C-alpha cells in the first residue's frame, strides 16, 4: 500500500497545530481560574487582616452625642466611645480614623463599608441584627424624658400622649416610642443636635433620648429636668458588618479583656460620673 507522503505530512502538521491550540486553551483556562481565585481571595480578606495590613481602623462614632462622642471647643473628638475607640487602636497597634456618622446612618455606614466598626451608643436590637452583627455589650442604658424645669404635665412616658416629642430618626426612641405612645406627636430629626435644638427652641414639649446623654444635658443647664424612670432599657454593643467572623471574634476578645481589666469602668466613671450598671444577664 502506497503512502501519500504529502497528505501524511499535512496530517501530522494539523495534529501538531491542534495540540498547540488545545494547550493554549488549557493555559488560558488555568490563568482565568487563577485570576478569579485570587480576586475571590482578595475579596474575602477579613476586615481584621485589612486593618492590620493598612495599619488603620475606621471607627464610626457619634459626633454630637455628649458624653458618648462629640467635638470639644478645639474641634477634637472626645467622649466615652472615643476613649474606647482609641484603646482599640492601641490594642491593634494601628492608627484610629474616627468617622462621624449620623444616628440613622450607623447601620448603613457598615453595610456600605464606610467604616470597619461602629462604636456609637448602638443598641443591638433584633431588627438591626438582621442587617449587621453585634459584639458582646460594653454598656447599658434606657430611654429618658427631658422637659423644661417648670413642666408639671409630664411625669413619665405615659403622659406623652398628645404631646409633641423630639426624637432622632432611626434611633432607639424611634423604634419604641411610636408603639408605647401611639397618641404622641412625634417629630423626627436627622441628628441628635437637631433634636436638642428643636426641644430647646420649644418646638417640642419634651425630648426622649438615651438616659446618660439626657442627664449630661440636664447637669449642664438648670432650665431642664429629667422626669420618670428610664424605660426600654437595653445593652450597648459595637456594630460589625455581616459575615466578618474573625473581626467579630477579635472585637469580642478585646471587650472581654477591657471589661475584665477594669479599664472600661475607668472610662465609664470618667464620663458618666458613676459606676456602670452590671452587664451580667441573669
Structural domain includes residue 54? yes
Number of domains within the chain:
2
Domain span at residue 92 reads 47-141+234-272
Looking at the structure, tell me whether residues 157 and 261 fall in a common domain.
Answer: no
Please tell me the pTM assigned to this model. 0.74
Structural domain includes residue 21? no
Q: What is the pLDDT of residues 54-83, one digit of tens each?
A: 999 999 999 989 999 999 999 999 999 999
Q: Residue 102: helix, strand or coil by DSSP?
A: coil
Looking at the structure, tell me whether residues 177 and 132 fall in a common domain.
Answer: no
Structural domain includes residue 171? yes
225 phi and psi, to 5 degrees?
-145, 160
Looking at the structure, tell me whether residues 124 and 178 fall in a common domain.
Answer: no
Burial of 278 (0-12, 13-18, 19+ CB in 10 A): exposed
Structural domain includes residue 68? yes
Looking at the structure, tell me whether residues 52 and 135 fall in a common domain.
Answer: yes
Cβ neighbours for 95, distance < 8 A, ≥ 6 positions apart = 55, 56, 57, 89
Looking at the structure, tell me whether residues 228 and 120 fall in a common domain.
Answer: no
Looking at the structure, tell me whether residues 262 and 161 fall in a common domain.
Answer: no
41-45, 53-57, 251-255: least confident range: 41-45
Mean pLDDT of the chain, nearest integer: 87
Asked if residue 44 has pLDDT above 80, the reply is: no
Looking at the structure, tell me whether residues 201 and 259 fall in a common domain.
Answer: no
Asked if residue 179 has pLDDT above 50, the reply is: yes
Q: At what angle do helices 263-272 and 245-261 cross, to 10 degrees?
A: 80
85 with 124: CB under 8 angstroms?
Answer: no
Looking at the structure, tell me whether residues 126 and 147 fall in a common domain.
Answer: no
Looking at the structure, tell me whether residues 180 and 103 fall in a common domain.
Answer: no
Cβ neighbours for 199, distance < 8 A, ≥ 6 positions apart = 146, 166, 206, 207
Looking at the structure, tell me whether residues 157 and 259 fall in a common domain.
Answer: no
262 phi and psi, to 5 degrees?
90, -5
Looking at the structure, tell me whether residues 238 and 262 fall in a common domain.
Answer: yes
Question: Distances in Å between the alpha carbon of 156 and those of 34, 146, 151, 189?
Answer: 64, 10, 12, 22
Query: Residue 134: which CATH number?
Result: 3.40.190.10
117 with 240: CB under 8 angstroms?
Answer: yes
- Count CB-CB contacts under 10 A for residue 113: 10
Strand 164-168 with 206-210, pairing: parallel
Looking at the structure, tell me whether residues 137 and 182 fall in a common domain.
Answer: no
**What is the reported pLDDT for 60?**
98
Q: What is the pLDDT of residues 123-141, one digit of tens each?
A: 999 999 999 999 999 999 8
Q: What is the pLDDT of residues 223-250, one digit of tens each?
A: 999 999 888 888 999 999 999 999 999 9
Q: All 3 cell numbers of residue 218?
A: 440636664
Nearest-5° Cα angle at 47, 267 to 252? 40
Q: All 3 cell numbers of residue 178?
A: 411610636
Structural domain includes residue 124? yes
Structural domain includes residue 191? yes
Amino acid at each position: 500500500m502506497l503512502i501519500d507522503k504529502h497528505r501524511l505530512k499535512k496530517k501530522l502538521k494539523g495534529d501538531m497545530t491542534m495540540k498547540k491550540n488545545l494547550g493554549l486553551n488549557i493555559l488560558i483556562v488555568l490563568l482565568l481560574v487563577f485570576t478569579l481565585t485570587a480576586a475571590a481571595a482578595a475579596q474575602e480578606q477579613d476586615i481584621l487582616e485589612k486593618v492590620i495590613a493598612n495599619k488603620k481602623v475606621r471607627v464610626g462614632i457619634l459626633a454630637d452625642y455628649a458624653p458618648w462622642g462629640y467635638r470639644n471647643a478645639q474641634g477634637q473628638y472626645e467622649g466615652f466611645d472615643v476613649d474606647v475607640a482609641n484603646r482599640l487602636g492601641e490594642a491593634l497597634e494601628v492608627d484610629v480614623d474616627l468617622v462621624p456618622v449620623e444616628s440613622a446612618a450607623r447601620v448603613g455606614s457598615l453595610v456600605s463599608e464606610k467604616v470597619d466598626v461602629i462604636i456609637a451608643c448602638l443598641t443591638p436590637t433584633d431588627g438591626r441584627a438582621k442587617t449587621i452583627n453585634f459584639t458582646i455589650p460594653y454598656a447599658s442604658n434606657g430611654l429618658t424624658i427631658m422637659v423644661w424645669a417648670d413642666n408639671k404635665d409630664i411625669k413619665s412616658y405615659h403622659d406623652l400622649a398628645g404631646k409633641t416629642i423630639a426624637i432622632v430618626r432611626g434611633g432607639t426612641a424611634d423604634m419604641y416610642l411610636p408603639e408605647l405612645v401611639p397618641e404622641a406627636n412625634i417629630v423626627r430629626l436627622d441628628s441628635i443636635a437637631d433634636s436638642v435644638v428643636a426641644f430647646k427652641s420649644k418646638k417640642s414639649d419634651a425630648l426622649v433620648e438615651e438616659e446618660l446623654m439626657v442627664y449630661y444635658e440636664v447637669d449642664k443647664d438648670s432650665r431642664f429636668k429629667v422626669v420618670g424612670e428610664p424605660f426600654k432599657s437595653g445593652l450597648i454593643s459595637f456594630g460589625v458588618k455581616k459575615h466578618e467572623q474573625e473581626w467579630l471574634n477579635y472585637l469580642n476578645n478585646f471587650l472581654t479583656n477591657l471589661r475584665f481589666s477594669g479599664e472600661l469602668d475607668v472610662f465609664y466613671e470618667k464620663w458618666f460620673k458613676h459606676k456602670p450598671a452590671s452587664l451580667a444577664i441573669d
